[in-house]
Amino acid sequence: MPSTALLLIDVQESFRHRPYWHAAPAEAFLARTNALIDGCRARGVPIVRILHSDGPADAANPFAMESGLVRPLDGLADFDPAATFVKRRHSALVGTGLTVWLHQQGIRRVIVAGIRTEQCCETTTRHASDEGWQVDFCAEATLTFDMAHLDGTPLPADAIVARTCAVLKDRFATICSVEQALERA
């Protein structure tokens, strides 16, 4: 029984329908995420698909099930998930049954990848660490978007990723490349 699982968080079509979506960073993210998926499949590491749904139950809301966009992001490698969970909170461990599933499977280490780096990926990483799992945070297989500081000055996505890695490193997670995460799996 494998002791590591990949948590693939919110890699879903919903984001392509948000005003902050940019195709170029998404292409690099998909390439690294697909390499991680392929490596996990080759090693028999279970891949857990986690999707996010919230807001009004309306087809115009890209995060509502009614939109048809709460599904894998186009371009993501095809795989048979070991389990699929739909979350309504930032942490994939809140209200989804994922915690029980991980314990039932004997998982001791999780690899975190997905969308958004500083939001659902970071929150799940902190939560998983606090619950006792070893966490490999694979930053190059996460994606986020430019934001603004409180004073309105730009906060570029690469600065957000750097900050997230700095605050997680050695406190909540091991920061890994795709290849490093696969070596540890």
Q: For residues 11 and 69, what is the distance between their CA atoms, to the nearest angstrom?
A: 11
Instruction: Provide the pairing of β-strand 147-148 with 154-155.
Output: antiparallel
Would you state the structure tokens that stand for residue 98, as one six-digit string? 């994922």
Q: For residues 120 and 113, what is the distance between their CA atoms, to the nearest angstrom?
A: 10
Tokens 């490193």 -> residue: 169
Span 4-184: which CATH code?
3.40.50.850
Instruction: Examine the pLDDT at 125 and tell me if it is beyond 80.
Output: yes
- The mean pLDDT of 19-34, rounded to a whole number, is 94
29-72: pLDDT as tens digits: 999 999 999 999 999 999 999 999 999 999 999 999 999 999 99
| Spans of all domains in the chain | 4-184
- The mean pLDDT of 92-114, rounded to a whole number, is 98
The confidence band for 24, taking pLDDT boundaries of 50, 70 and 90, is confident
- The mean pLDDT of 107-132, rounded to a whole number, is 98
0.95 exceeded by pTM: yes
- Residue 23: the pLDDT is 87
161-183: pLDDT as tens digits: 999 999 999 999 999 999 999 99
Would you state the structure tokens that stand for residue 28, as one six-digit string? 């690099």
Of the candidates 92, 65, 95, 90, the residue with the CA atom closest to the CA atom of residue 81: 92
131-163: pLDDT as tens digits: 999 999 999 999 999 999 999 999 999 999 999
The confidence band for 1, taking pLDDT boundaries of 50, 70 and 90, is low
Strand, coil or helix: what is 15?
helix
User: Is residue 11 a contact partner of residue 32, using CB atoms and an 8 Å limit?
Assistant: no
- Residue 130: the pLDDT is 98
The confidence band for 2, taking pLDDT boundaries of 50, 70 and 90, is confident
Q: For residues 35 and 42, what is the distance between their CA atoms, to the nearest angstrom?
A: 11
Q: What is the largest CA-CA distance in the chain?
A: 50
